[in-house]
Amino acid sequence: QKKVEDKLDALGVHDAQKYNVDDQFLAYTQEAFAIKQAADHARTLVKCAGKWPSGVNATKVFAGVKLLYENADDLNGDAKLGWDAVEMEALSLEVEAIAR
């Protein structure tokens, strides 16, 4: 949760005039939504620690979590085990896509 709050604080624009420009407001909203999705993906890591759960898109989870934890240095326990599993699966999918 702290990572999400820090990211959103860093994103926060305190000049209300910047929100009056549609493109800037849209960019801000999209980045805030990406941070929210990253938090959801970080919670998914724990589910991936033991065996691979069905319905988990490793590529999306991997990219989302990297937004909050660039190298997974701050993760531990089941979250770290889940990160390792997601990373392996995402890289495996990337290799398969390249081989096609």
Give the separation between CA 39 and CA 2, rounded to whole angstroms.
10
The DSSP secondary structure of 5-36, one letter per residue, reads HHHHHHH----GGGGGSHHHHHHHHHHHHHHH
Closest by CA to 47, choosing from 82, 91, 73, is 82
Please report the pLDDT score of residue 26 as a whole number: 85
Tens of pLDDT, residues 28-69: 888 888 888 888 888 888 888 888 888 999 999 999 888 888
How sure is the predictor about 1, in pLDDT bands with cuts at 50, 70 and 90?
low
The amino acid at 27? A
Encoded tokens for 35: 């941070």
